[in-house]
Amino acid sequence: MSLIYNEEQRMLLDTAQEFFAERSPVSALRALRDGGNAQGFETALWNEMTELGWTAIPFPESLGGLEFGYKGMGAVFEAAGRQLSASPLLSSIVLCGSILEQGGSEAQQNEWLSALIAGSKRLALAVDEGARHNPEQISLSATRTDNGFELNGDKVMVVDGLGSDGWIVAARTLESPASATVKASATGKEGISLFIVPAGTQGVCVTRQSLIDSRNTARLSLKQVELAPDCLIGELDQGKALLDAALDRGRVCIAAELQGACEQLFQTTLDYLRTRVQFDAPIGSFQALQHRAAWAFVELELARSSLMAALHAIDSNDEQAPQLVSLAKWKVGQMADRISNEAVQMHGGIGVTDELDVGLYFKRIRVLQALLGDSDYHLSRAAPTVDAA
């Protein structure tokens, strides 16, 4: 197992950090927010990222990719996290790109994947339906019709869902939920299928969910949406494995973004502890604060190890990957809660003002924490249970 970046990955990390610091510092996010930009990212920045080849990183050369792996993706997400830089890299490349790479037909790959890598189109993944992430409880339905499929139901927390060229929608395709449960336990397949829904399809309504991080998040309402048979990705009823693999890639990239954001926020907090003077002393000389800062550092290091193990597991097709990804999302999430809370508290009054960037980090961190499973979700998924034999 390799838990550190190699020379090439480290170079990519350095390049990406310089790029985002120059092209998309935190002030860029502030400008997007204040300008009311619903797309949530700058098209020009996205084009430059595409030109740099970052959209091709995880894919095989046969599909126009660079085969640079998820350690490479992790490096880019970390760097973006440091500056809170916004782009559709997660939604379009990591989540939808993975599904098309692993399960798309040749026609689907030709039509969509090349365009996603080229940045000329983008897709968004629609999974969540309830208040908390739970891909085991999908109820948006897809039923067979004479001409293909009809989809009905709502999706929420669709990342970059506004203005996309289409969505990949996870739907239930078994007749009744009751038989689905029986079949699930019998075959291990859960009657979930994945569909490409092109933008402009009749019956699709997309509205903005305006969240605290000012990004592009959408609600997708599907009413009697008719889809042609070739919109189905992979085999009918067999979409869950495809979905899970893509979700794990997304989760590990979210963990990398969180790690980057938290390392930056922690540095900012340490700078403040060294310079802010109260009671005639820098507040960082007070042991109560020193020990809390030291514990935060401990958490950063433990989270970093978990993150690297998960990136490595994805790249090496380790069968332990789901467990290690959930360990990473759990541990990084725990760390992120601590770092973001301490950052606000240690900055004191200024820490709760909008003027300071600390608040922007705090809000983005909390959204990332919830995205594709919070700490509770991943604790249950990663940890052994008492019941297990």
Partner 1 sequence: MSSLETFRTQTRAWLEANCPASLRGPAAAGELVWGGSRIEFDNEDQRLWFERMRDRNWFCPAWPEAYGGGGLAPEEVAVLEQELKRLRCRPPQINLGIWMLGPVLLEYGTEEQKQRLLTPMTRGEVRWCQGFSEPNAGSDLANIRTTARDQGDHFVVDGSKIWTSYGDQSDWMYALVRTDNSGSKQAGISLLVLDMHAEGVQARPIDLISGKSSFCEVFFDSVKVSKDNLIGPLNGGWTLAKKLLQHERSAMSKFGEFSLPTHFDLMAILRDYLPVAKTASEVVLEARAQACALDEQAYNLTVQRMGEAARAGQDVGGIASIMKLVHTEQEKTKFEILVDAMGHRALGWDGDEFSSQELAISKAWLMSYTQTIAGGSSEVQLNVIAKRVLQLPDASKGGAK
User: Which residues lie near partner 1 (CB under 8 A)?
Assistant: 1-4, 270, 273-274, 279-282, 284-287, 289-291, 293-295, 297-298, 301-306, 308-309, 327, 330-331, 379-380, 382-388
d(Cα 56, Cα 201) in Å, to the nearest integer? 28
Q: Which residue, 78 or 213, is less far from partner 1 as judged by CB?
A: 78
For residue 84, give Cα distances in angstroms to 74, 123, 180, 330.
Answer: 15, 21, 41, 21
Q: Which residue, 1 or 182, is less far from partner 1 as judged by CB?
A: 1
- 76 close to 89: Cβ distance less than 8 angstroms: yes
Minimum CB distance to partner 1, residue 300 (Å)? 9
Q: Which residue, 118 or 298, is less far from partner 1 as judged by CB?
A: 298
Pairing of β 277-278 and β 281-282 = antiparallel
Minimum CB distance to partner 1, residue 173 (Å)? 33
User: What is the SS3 assignment for 237?
Assistant: coil
Helix, strand, coil in percent for the chain, rounding step 5: 55, 15, 30
Minimum CB distance to partner 1, residue 307 (Å)? 9
Minimum CB distance to partner 1, residue 293 (Å)? 6
Q: Which residue, 129 or 299, is less far from partner 1 as judged by CB?
A: 299
Q: Which residue, 139 or 285, is less far from partner 1 as judged by CB?
A: 285
Q: Which residue, 156 or 270, is less far from partner 1 as judged by CB?
A: 270
Q: Which residue, 107 or 386, is less far from partner 1 as judged by CB?
A: 386
Minimum CB distance to partner 1, residue 100 (Å)? 32
Q: Which residue, 217 or 306, is less far from partner 1 as judged by CB?
A: 306
One-letter identity of residue 218: A
Q: Which residue, 179 or 295, is less far from partner 1 as judged by CB?
A: 295
Minimum CB distance to partner 1, residue 292 (Å)? 9
Which residues, 6 or more positions from 356, have their beta carbon under 8 angstroms from its beta carbon?
A: 347, 350
Structure tokens at 327: 């360990």
Instruction: Please give the radius of gyration of the chain, using alpha carbons only, rounded to the nearest integer.
Output: 21
Minimum CB distance to partner 1, residue 376 (Å)? 8
Which residues, 6 or more positions from 78, have their beta carbon under 8 angstroms from its beta carbon?
A: 13, 16, 256, 257, 259, 260, 263
317-325 contacts: CB < 8 A, separation 24 or more? Answer: 321/248, 322/244, 322/248, 322/381, 323/381, 323/382, 324/382, 325/248, 325/251, 325/252, 325/255
DSSP at 90: I
Element of type H or E holding 166: strand 166-172
Minimum CB distance to partner 1, residue 334 (Å)? 8
**Strand-pair partners of 193:** 171
Minimum CB distance to partner 1, residue 274 (Å)? 6
Which residues, 6 or more positions from 315, have their beta carbon under 8 angstroms from its beta carbon?
A: 69, 70, 71
